[in-house]
A and B are shown apart, each in its own frame.
Chain A
């Protein structure tokens, strides 16, 4: 009788410890986005120069939407990756941005001094566009394919490899 019970208890314990190990080793900051596989929402607003822009309109090109802010430290290292990417991939993709909860002056100064890889930056002062896209931290990057569907969302500073992988996914 006793021996029979251990045959049940031990596998259950192993299963529980397995789950515990999985839980403890996975990154709590990585939150899978429910937006992957969905259509990128259409958002209207102004760019940093006051021109009307519409985010989400697809001109038949895969589009990268990068969320950045001048107050975001990690965005600085990512910026170099984006500048390199813009040169490397050129016209095959569109690279646009959401300038998230940032003052116009600071945002413009950032682009002037560090270089501007974006076609334009959507000025999201209120953070409302960010909520619409489930943004919880900056930088974040959406990879949108030709059909306007979000194929990948990265909630971390991009590396050259992440950029290349995302672009490969967009072109699939």
Chain B
């Protein structure tokens, strides 16, 4: 039984590896890759929250064509992104700029997280200070006896070590 399963697993493994032998090289145009890389950073302005790289809208297609044209002209990524920002504003960037108006968006989340952690620590601290021990007199005789036994047991185990 076990051997049978083992044999099947080995043949599946061998078959999956064998596909590597038959697979051909994928030809990818590096220019197209670059176009999509840049387009992935730009927002398709007509479809709210989709990058230009993924959108099939007419405008996104035109924008990809512009990116390609500019790359062929020898423009770099920064220049191309700036071209779109100059015309469509920061809105066209999927990730907000790390300067100017974009700074609060990058600074505030970690700041709030830090504040929240500090607040939690302070609250926990003040709570632990508030814990008041039950006065011993409120304990019944049996309870006090149990505590005494437990303490003794603890001391004993401590001595054993």
Pair A31/B58 contact, Cβ less than 8 Å: no
Number of interface residues of A (CB under 8 A): 23
Task: Give how many B residues have a beta carbon under 8 Å from the other chain's beta carbons.
Answer: 21
| B interface, over-half SS | helix
Question: Interface on chain A toward B: helix, strand, loop, or mixed SS?
Answer: loop
Say yes or no: A136-B46 contact (C-beta < 8 A), given A34-B88, A127-B59.
yes
User: Contacting A2 at CB < 8 Å: which of B46, B85, B126?
Assistant: B126
> Do A5 and B87 contact each other (CB < 8 Å), given the known contacts A127-B62, A131-B66, A136-B45?
no
Q: Are B89 and A9 in contact (CB under 8 A)?
A: no
**Chain A contacts of B91 at CB under 8 A?**
31
A143: shortest Cβ distance to chain B, in Å? 17
Q: Does A32 contact B (CB under 8 A)?
A: yes
- Kindly state the separation between the CA atoms of A107 and B58 in the bound complex, as whole angstroms: 18
Chain B residues, CB < 8 A from A1: 122, 126
Q: Is the CB of B62 within 8 A of A126?
A: yes
Q: In the complex, are the beta carbons of A136 and B59 less than 8 A apart?
A: yes
Contacts of A133 in B (CB 8 A): 87
CB contacts under 8 Å to B, within A1-26, are: 1-2, 5, 8-9, 12
In-complex Cβ contact of B89 among A8, A12, A31, A101 (8 A): A31
Contacts of B63 in A (CB 8 A): 131
B115 at the interface (CB under 8 A from A): yes
Cβ of B123 under 8 Å from chain A: yes
Number of inter-chain CB pairs below 8 Å: 51
Is A31's CB under 8 angstroms from B88's CB? Answer: yes
- Chain B residues within an 8 Å CB radius of A73: none
Q: A32-B89, A131-B87, A134-B88 are in contact. Are A101 and B58 (CB under 8 A)?
A: yes
In-complex Cβ contact of B87 among A32, A35, A127, A137 (8 A): A35
Q: Which residues of A contact B46 (CB under 8 A)?
A: 136-137
B10 an interface residue at 8 Å Cβ cutoff? Answer: no
- B87 lies within 8 A of A34 (CB): yes
B12 within 8 A of A: no
With A131-B66, A131-B87, A136-B59 as given contacts, are A28 and B48 in contact (CB-CB < 8 Å)?
yes
The 6 nearest A-B residue pairs measured at CB: A134-B87, A136-B45, A34-B89, A127-B62, A1-B126, A134-B88
Interchain residue pairs with CB less than 8 A apart (25)? A1-B126, A2-B123, A2-B126, A5-B119, A5-B122, A5-B123, A8-B115, A8-B119, A12-B112, A12-B115, A31-B45, A31-B89, A31-B91, A34-B85, A34-B86, A101-B58, A126-B62, A127-B58, A128-B66, A131-B62, A132-B87, A133-B87, A134-B87, A134-B88, A136-B46
